[in-house]
Amino acid sequence: MLYIEKKDYDKILKHATDGLPNEACGLIAGTADGEEKYVREVYLLTNIDASNEHFSMDPKEQFAAVKDARAKGYELLGNFHSHPESPSRPSEEDKRLAYDSKANYLILSLEDREHPVLHAFLIDENKNVTENPIVIR
C-alpha cells in the first residue's frame, strides 16, 4: 500500500496538467513500514524529452532530489509520470525501462481530463507488473 496526502497528489496533478501536452515526471520520497509506504515529499522534475509520448528525468535534478530526500531522512519510494492520452498502466516502454524492482512506478492518466486516474505499480526483473494500491488522504 502507498499512502499519499491530497496536497501531494494535487502537486503531481498540477505538474502534469501544467506540462501538457507533454508527459510530466518526478520522484516521490518518504518513509516505509514494511510494505506500507508513506509519501512525504514530491519532487517535480523536468522531462528532458519534452515529448507527449516519452519521458526521461534530468539526472542532475534526480540527484538533487535524492540528496534532499536523504537530508530529510526519507528514502526514495519511486517515481511518477503522466500519460496525457492513454490509461494509467505501464506501457511496453515503461516496462522495458523499469530497472528498479523496488521502486513504485506511479502513472497519472489525463486521458479523461475531468477524471484523472493515478495508479502505482511494481515492475520486477522479468517485467511482471503488480499494482500497489494507493490511498489518497
Burial class (CB in 10 A: 0-12, 13-18, 19+), 21: exposed
- Nearer to another protein by Cβ, of 51 and 135: the residue is 51
What is the smallest separation between the CB atom of 35 and another protein, expressed in angstroms?
19
Burial class (CB in 10 A: 0-12, 13-18, 19+), 37: buried
The pair phi, psi for residue 40, each rounded to 5°, is -115, -20
- Nearer to another protein by Cβ, of 97 and 117: the residue is 97
Question: Where along the sequence are the contacts to another protein (CB under 8 A)?
Answer: 23, 25, 27, 49, 51-57, 59-60, 62-63, 66-67, 70, 79, 81, 83-86, 90-94, 97-101, 103, 105, 125
- Nearer to another protein by Cβ, of 90 and 134: the residue is 90
Report how far Cα 25 is from the mean position of its chain's Cα atoms.
Answer: 7
What is the smallest separation between the CB atom of 10 and another protein, expressed in angstroms?
22
User: H/E/C letters for each residue in 24-36?
Assistant: CEEEEEEEEECCE
Rounded Cα–Cα distance for residues 130 and 106 (Å): 12
What is the smallest separation between the CB atom of 48 and another protein, expressed in angstroms?
9
- Nearer to another protein by Cβ, of 6 and 57: the residue is 57
What is the smallest separation between the CB atom of 129 and another protein, expressed in angstroms?
12
